């Protein structure tokens, strides 16, 4: 599966107009289907279509099911396979997740339209109540802590590892770091929520969840849904290169999560959970 595609463009600049090749992030639909139920009463249901960058589809489907509360652990998944496409022009755009017989599926919790745009996974939700997925993970109070200098280094590390972004300029990234600033995982996608689902799905396959000793950095803004997904994985700190939304900050405060915004150019704002950041300078008003 290709994650970037080459196209011909007319490039305008002060030096003139040139015809050149440019790289674009590939955006294709992924239909996620569930196979669930006891023996003799198995059923299949399509639960989501999300526009995503092909690649890491197993992680994306797993992370999506976990952060939506459809599954509680990786052991509930028996198998994940791509199904034949509807037409020869389409490939690997349908994925079937087979759940263990013991897994109880409450599809009413989704209450979403079967279309999710790449820019906002919440847009298909029928109600705000359906978004508030319950998490049983309790965040550790006041820990772990992260040094101020370490936070400043994270965007540079993220950019260094964003291979597809360097080619296309059109992908979001989600990266997982430990308190020493070591990059543990990074995933990219045309949709910011997909990048986070891929990251959490990968962590589930590694057996790392709950991620109570790590932080997550996202390349875009910090939306309500990204805070909710991070909470489901037990992540105590969400940092974003862009701004958080008011609802994201409110959810973080209610849940004891730290949220940082505008983490770039040697600056950042703390919107909640300041106790997890070890500052080297006094706070002035």
The closest alpha carbon to 226, from 253, 197, 250, 190, belongs to 197
How long a stretch of residues is the chain?
285
The full DSSP string for 36-100 is: ESSTT--EEEEEEEEEE-SS-HHHHHHHHHHHTTS-SSGGGEEEEEEPPPSSTT--S-EEEEEEP
Whether 49 and 33 have beta carbons less than 8 Å apart is answered as no
Q: How far apart are CA 260 and CA 271, in angstroms?
A: 6
The closest alpha carbon to 48, from 65, 62, 64, 31, belongs to 31
DSSP 104: -
Q: How far apart are CA 152 and CA 147, in angstroms?
A: 9
Backbone dihedral region of 164: left (phi > 0), alpha (psi from -120 to 50 degrees) or beta? alpha
Could you tell me the two tokens for 122?
A: 């919440």
Q: How far apart are CA 73 and CA 209, in angstroms?
A: 9
Whether 260 and 242 have beta carbons less than 8 Å apart is answered as no
- In the set 24, 80, 120, 163, the catalytic residue is 120
Cis bond before residue 144 (omega within 30° of 0): yes
Whether 2 and 190 have beta carbons less than 8 Å apart is answered as no
134 is catalytic: no
Indicate which residues carry an active-site annotation: 120
């Amino acid at each position: 599966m290709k994650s970037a595609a080459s196209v011909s463009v007319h490039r305008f600049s002060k030096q003139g107009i040139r015809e050149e090749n440019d790289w674009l992030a590939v955006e294709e639909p992924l239909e996620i289907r569930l196979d669930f139920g006891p023996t003799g009463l198995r059923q299949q249901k399509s639960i989501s279509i999300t526009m995503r960058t092909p690649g890491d589809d197993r992680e994306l489907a797993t992370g999506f099911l976990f952060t939506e509360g459809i599954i509680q652990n990786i052991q509930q998944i028996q198998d994940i396979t791509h199904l034949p496409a509807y037409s020869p022009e389409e490939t690997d755009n349908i994925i079937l997740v087979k759940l263990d017989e013991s897994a109880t599926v409450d599809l009413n919790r989704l209450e979403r339209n079967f279309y999710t745009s790449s820019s906002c996974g919440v847009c298909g939700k029928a109600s705000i109540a359906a978004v508030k997925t319950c998490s049983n993970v309790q965040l550790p109070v006041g820990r772990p802590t992260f040094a101020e200098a370490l936070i400043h280094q994270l965007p540079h590390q993220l950019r260094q590892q964003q291979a597809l972004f360097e080619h296309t300029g059109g992908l979001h990234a989600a990266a997982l770091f430990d308190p020493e600033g070591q990059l543990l995982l990074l995933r990219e996608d045309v949709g910011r929520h997909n990048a986070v689902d891929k990251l959490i799905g990968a962590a589930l396959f590694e057996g790392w969840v709950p991620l109570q000793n790590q932080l997550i950095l996202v390349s875009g803004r910090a939306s309500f849904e990204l805070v909710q997904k991070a909470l489901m994985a037990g992540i105590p700190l969400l940092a974003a290169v862009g701004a958080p939304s008011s609802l994201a900050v409110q959810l973080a405060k209610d849940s004891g999560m730290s949220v940082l915004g505008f983490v770039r150019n040697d600056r950042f704002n703390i919107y909640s959970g300041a106790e997890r950041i070890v500052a080297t300078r006094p706070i002035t008003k």
